Structure 1
Amino acid sequence: MSEYVCKVSSENHPSWGVRVPLFIDDNLDTFPIAFHLLTTPTSPQQTPPQTTSQTTLQATPQTIPLTPLPTPSPLNTTLPPNTLPPNTSPPPPPPPPPTSQHPMVTRSKIKIVKANPKYNFHVTTSSLISKSPFHALRDPNWKQAMCDEYKALIDNETWVLVPRLPNVNIVRSMWLYKHKYNVDASLSRYKARLVASGRSQQQGIDCDETFSPVVKPAIIQTVLSLVVSREWPIHQLDVKNAFLHGHLTETVYMHQPRGFTDSAHSDYVCLMQKSLYGLKQASRSWFQRFSSYAIRAGFYHSKIDSSLFIFHKGPDTTYLLLYVNDIILTASSTLLLQRIISLLHAKFAIKDLGPLNYFLGISAMHTTSGIFLSQTKYATEILERAKMLNCNLCRTPVDTEKKLGPEGSPSTTSQLIAYSDADWAGCPATRRSTSGYCVFVGDNLLTWSFKRQDTLSRSSAEADYRGVTNAVDETSWIRNLLRELHTPLFTATLVYCDNLSAVYMSANLVQHQRTKHIKIGIHFVRDKVAAGHVRVLHVPSRFQYADIFTKGLPYTLFTDFTSS
């Protein structure tokens, strides 16, 4: 190690210092010069130097041997006595570091220096969602997503550029951005989508029929119940750029996408050859395209719901549920499932997401006893939006006293059971009743509903009888669905009600003074009972599960219902 002695001649005071390089090479020192200077004021007898325009630096390199220096070194950092001007006090010592007076006991206060493993998570940041395509193009993440979307549109031959014609409607185009998340709420990818503004379309000119069916939640839960009981494999599929596969029957013009305008034809417009997100008829065009291909492949529509496609040939059975571009596919064997996926992949750009785990905001967790469905992410978002994440837990979700006014395990599907209940004149403002029901297939809860009745009921029996009618409506629909799924029920549907008068009205052709005004259409329950399709039975209130929908329950009863 070498040191250099340097002398700096300044305008006011000569200074001495020692330069200690960070690294010394035998031939060249390439690091910046750093000085530790000791200021020595000029004595009164010393003549001040001549004033110059700038400070000069005179450095005399001197190699110091590597042997230890003598203890009283002339270059020590201790100032000689009487170096300070008279009447000058030494500088005050630095103040001590501030100490926290907060009563909270922290890790640093009790001298804990070992790292806590739970704080060692990997933290990532995501780019904010942009509102302008020009701002998004400056971000590499959004720019890549936009380029991928534009390339997919060009490769799909979604439009052709044509000169703009006079007196034609030109649909606006816009970019939409979204973060796609995994089931654990972690960031999956950046999604940019070019859409057309359907509000700028004109009915009868560039759009006509727009309705497109989607699968109902009750059908999804029914199919999942069958999958669990039969132990079938079930996969989730995603169709990439689904709306781009639809063919348009109308002539539609659209402005060129912002940020990707053709410089050679900046005044041209896009003549749409295929459907695009945002067009009013886009969803219908995609459904018609997919439906026609599925029918050619051997599927057929369910009469209960057009979004349920069924393939049944001998021992092979497949159920396909379509919700826009999301698909749930299950089959009686893994080999058949893979064959259907390959068949769909040959026609559409389909991504196999593996076993069902997250569909339409519902998380599906596969366990040894079946499939556990939950909406943890959705519930957390609601609590966060309402700023209730830190609120205390409540034992029951509804107040047991307050009246509201305007202000399991796998099982077979051998039995269909419903529970119906009504809260007579429960609304303090309109005195209308609230009816609710829940339907089970085996031990699995499929559908439930609770809503205020449209008309006034003169008695609690009438209110409960109307509730039984709604439950029979739902169970009849589910029986027809199971029949189409090749799982017919050979036993009567059991509908439980805790009002004996309503039970008697459903089984006996009784007409008395307080039931003459009930509409004849409500009495179709009697026809179902007479045909042997439905049995209306009495159940004590302590076993009436539908009570949870119509009134607030005490904690003990609520706990019994949720745990049973």
Structure 2
Amino acid sequence: MNRTLVECARCMMEHAGLGKSYWGEAVMTAMFLRNRCPTRAIHQDKSPYQVWTMKKPILANLKVFGCHAYVQVPQDKRAKFDSKSSLCRFLGYAEHQKSYRFEEVSTGAIKISRDATFMEDKFDEGPRNYNDESSVVEFDDHDEDEEKEEGKTDDDMDSSDDDNEDTRSSKSNIKRHTRTQSLEKATVIPSPKRRTYRGPSLEHVSAAAMDFEAAYIVDSVGETPTTFKSAMESSDSGKWKEACDSEFDSLQRNDTWEIVPLPKGRKAIGCRWVFRVKENQDGEVERFKARLVAKGFSQKFGVDYEETFAPVAKFTSIRVVLSMAAKYGLMLHQMDVKTAFLNGSLNEDIYMDQPDGYLDATQPDYVCKLKRSLYGLKQSPRMWNQTIDGFMIKMGFKKCESDHCIYIKRDDQDMILVVLYVDDLILASSNNELLKSTKMALSKRFEMTDLGELDYFLGMEIKNDRKTGMVTVQQTKFLKSVLTKFGMDNSKPVKTPQDPGLKLTKNMCEQECKHEDTMCNVPYRSAVGGIMYLMVATRPDLAAAVGSLSQFSSDPCPTHWQALKRVLRYLQATPNHGLEFTREEGSRICGYTDADWAGDIESRRSTSGYVFMMSGGCISWKSQKQRTVALSSTEAEYMALSEATKEAVWLKVLLGELGEMTSDEAIKMYEDNQGSIALAKNPEFHKRTKHIDIRYHFVREKVESGEVVLEYCPTQDMLADMMTKPIAAVQFENIRDRLGIHGAAANESRGSVEKTAAVKKTPRQAASSVEASGRPSFAIPVGTCPVRAKSGNDVTG
């Protein structure tokens, strides 16, 4: 399908004489046409449009892409003696309304109109040999049933004059006025790394979402080439050739394949070059990178591959390691594996075409029999993970069962942790020699890049101040790019991401019946995805807002979009905010859980929320609508407590494997509802709780076994309150600070305070944190580190 759309779009642009800047419009038009073409993939050779709508597509309204057309100018947009039409280029079909998309030749503005005179033999580069006469097509907004009752008019656009327009509008049995919508000049949206949404039908997706889908499919018309030929014809052909040579040499050194004739009955999969300009943390060009990837989509299950799953480190696990680095003053370093997937061996016989530009001159008809797991193969991530996992075990590391990408190795009173995320590694160690030896062993086995101290990982900017025992994690660069991308970099800041007085509902779309015209070009889903990554990695203060806004991604209305822009305005106010972990503040883990009873005014379901704190910062959080309706606030809190308990049990296992907790220690969790606490501690059967699903009674078992300890927390001290609903600015900022979310300026001032406090430590406090040698001791019993309360009302673990 990708190739079909590319070829179709390329032909349309070539035929119309349009440049590559029109690739987005061409691809959307190609999608529109493909949805209305019969396909063998559907029974009886029906079109996707017919299957989806149960109606045959009307093909009489289709026009030649890129042709000239005269579009009617509405009366309120022109003066008495102004022209009634403007010369435009036809660019496709509008979303959510029966209209065409045009580009005005004189201004470049995008217009959406139903009434136009098409000249399908007129293009930018001169006439084409077409016999079809120019035609006038006017779309009606009514459904087909209404059209049958009311009838259809074929009045020409020029037949409407200034004198009779008011008379025509007053008659209900005559079609409505022409609606023409002028939009801002179209701009190409950059291609995302990954698509996060797939709708049932492309024609029911918003225009902005289609822009992103199209950018993903047709990136060949962007600045970065997507074929070997286009790379060699570009202005940076020398740099791209050097990058390809480097990649090919690496493949040869790793003995990735052997040239053999294709066995009878087997089919070789294809391959292609993928090009990328790699930038550093400051956005400067670091190097040109080329990678040969196999076309794994043509692999067949059971023939070319079996298992494909490969784990990656959880973000919660990464934050746990960072909190331990703050607590014990660990060194944090980073390494990258070059051509990581080539280190994995294949269990299946896979044949691949020879790569473009590097065809064997003596055996051009032969194929490559792969020996290594090349990028693009479905099983490559799994093979790579198995390879490095076996090597880490051979080095003496122990793999955590709670997270298979966290490895730990102890040497007397020192230890080293390795966090694996595909081919990126974080190394945290208390001993410099142990760190160096581990790096040397990894570099000897794999081709590695030593990136030195950890400062940038998966889009997170990390600073480790070992002197003050402070580790900060933020995403300032990514946050600013999100604001710029959606035109909110100069917006007015606000103090909270949500308006406490606004309840978002799906019924708003029905009330705002005209929202389709204004929302068709709004990148709602893309904006939700941008702030979602911030929330997942470093910003728990966005959890409730993201959970609320993501419910309306399929059909947002202007009110939803305004609420989303408020979140972006909040990010504009807090661009440098991120998580902060400190040595002295709350080193012991504790959790907070809360629920907003019947907060959803449509479904009347409650929202669960929890946060877990360690080393003064938030390591785990969640905001989620409950699956069933709770009949009381006690039930809602009880169900939220059950979800938090599951996370607590997993964290206890992880911390136990890392040496932070013993098996007989419990995680303390705070709840602000006395009824739910009593329900969790009391195993008796009550008639008021007999309907509660047995899965939620999981918390009782863990309380009885002593793995979890429940304590009451006043509502004003409940840190999870932010996860369940919008709250006022003063309370929001208070909870945000107590969750360890601070700005860069605050981090610097707090760091200076920590330096001052460090001088005044007692001998016992100094001994409990750092040995005389300057390295932290892991022989100290857990819990001896003093805990400094944030305020008199704080409840700490």
TM bucket, shorter chain: 0.7 to 0.9
Q: For 2:432, give the aligned amino acid.
A: T
How big is the shift at 1:413?
7.0
**Alpha-carbon displacement from aligned partner over 1:189-247 (angstroms, at most 9, x marks no partner):** 12111101110111111111111111111111111111111112121010000000110
- Does 1:416 pair with 2:589? yes
Show the counterpart of 2:39: none
Three-state SS of the structure 2 residue aligned to 1:450 is strand
- Does 1:135 pair with 2:230? yes
- Does 1:266 pair with 2:440? no
Q: For 1:259, give the aligned amino acid.
A: G
CA RMSD of aligned residues (A): 1.8
- What TM-score do you get using the length of structure 1 for normalisation? 0.75
Show the counterpart of 2:409: 311
Which residues in structure 2 correspond to 1:227-246 (within 5 Å)? Answer: 227-246=325-344
Show the counterpart of 1:441: 614
- Does 1:247 pair with 2:345? yes
**Alpha-carbon displacement from aligned partner over 1:294-336 (angstroms, at most 9, x marks no partner):** 2111112211111112212432322111111111112220010
Which of 191, 199, 203 is 2:301 aligned to?
203
Show the counterpart of 1:525: 699
Cα distance in 2 for residues equivalent to 1:233 and 1:559: 32
How big is the shift at 1:172?
1.0
Show the counterpart of 1:401: 501
Which residues in structure 2 correspond to 1:181-220 (within 5 Å)? Answer: 181-220=279-318
8 Å Cα contact 2:586-2:613 kept in structure 1 = no
Cα distance in 1 for residues equivalent to 2:491 and 2:653: 45
Cα distance in 2 for residues equivalent to 1:474 and 1:447: 8
Show the counterpart of 2:721: 547
Cα distance in 2 for residues equivalent to 1:443 and 1:169: 57
Three-state SS of the structure 2 residue aligned to 1:188 is strand
How big is the shift at 1:502?
1.1
Cα distance in 2 for residues equivalent to 1:411 and 1:356: 22
8 Å Cα contact 1:183-1:357 kept in structure 2 = no
**Alpha-carbon displacement from aligned partner over 1:432-470 (angstroms, at most 9, x marks no partner):** 111010001242210001111111111111011111111
8 Å Cα contact 1:320-1:328 kept in structure 2 = yes
Show the counterpart of 2:542: none
Q: For 2:611, give the aligned amino acid.
A: C
Cα distance in 2 for residues equivalent to 1:363 and 1:178: 22
Count of residue pairs the alignment pairs up: 438
Which residues in structure 2 correspond to 1:142-181 (within 5 Å)? Answer: 142-181=240-279
8 Å Cα contact 2:464-2:472 kept in structure 1 = yes
- What TM-score do you get using the length of structure 2 for normalisation? 0.53
Structure 1 segments unaligned to the other structure (5+ residues): 1-126
Cα distance, 1:354–1:495 mapped onto 2, change above 3 Å:
same
Give the structure with the higher percent helix. 2
- Does 1:374 pair with 2:474? yes
8 Å Cα contact 1:146-1:192 kept in structure 2 = yes
- Does 1:384 pair with 2:558? no
Bigger Cα displacement from structure 2, 501-510 vs 290-299: 501-510
Cα distance in 1 for residues equivalent to 2:398 and 2:592: 33
8 Å Cα contact 1:243-1:277 kept in structure 2 = yes
Show the counterpart of 2:756: none
How big is the shift at 1:254?
0.5
Show the counterpart of 1:537: 711
Three-state SS of the structure 1 residue aligned to 2:224 is coil
Which of 440, 449, 456 is 1:342 aligned to?
440
Bigger Cα displacement from structure 2, 133-142 vs 527-536: 527-536
Three-state SS of the structure 1 residue aligned to 2:736 is helix
Show the counterpart of 2:160: none
Give the structure with the higher percent strand. 1
How big is the shift at 1:137?
2.0
Q: Percent identity?
A: 37
8 Å Cα contact 2:307-2:379 kept in structure 1 = yes
How big is the shift at 1:535?
2.2
How big is the shift at 1:491?
4.8
Which residues in structure 2 correspond to 1:101-116 (within 5 Å)? Answer: none
**Alpha-carbon displacement from aligned partner over 1:390-426 (angstroms, at most 9, x marks no partner):** 2211210112122233434223775221111111112
Show the counterpart of 1:476: 649
Structure 2 segments unaligned to the other structure (5+ residues): 1-221, 506-550, 553-579, 739-797
Three-state SS of the structure 1 residue aligned to 2:628 is coil
How big is the shift at 1:510?
4.4
Cα distance in 2 for residues equivalent to 1:279 and 1:317: 36
- Does 1:563 pair with 2:737? yes
How big is the shift at 1:344?
1.0
- Kindly name which structure, 1 or 2, has the bigger radius of gyration based on alpha carbons: 1
Three-state SS of the structure 2 residue aligned to 1:128 is coil
Show the counterpart of 1:81: none
8 Å Cα contact 2:227-2:272 kept in structure 1 = no
Cα distance, 1:226–1:300 mapped onto 2, change above 3 Å:
same
**Alpha-carbon displacement from aligned partner over 1:5-30 (angstroms, at most 9, x marks no partner):** xxxxxxxxxxxxxxxxxxxxxxxxxx
Three-state SS of the structure 1 residue aligned to 2:719 is coil
How big is the shift at 1:505?
1.2
Q: For 2:671, give the aligned amino acid.
A: C
Cα distance in 1 for residues equivalent to 2:254 and 2:296: 21
Bigger Cα displacement from structure 2, 348-357 vs 503-512: 503-512
Q: For 1:130, give the aligned amino acid.
A: P
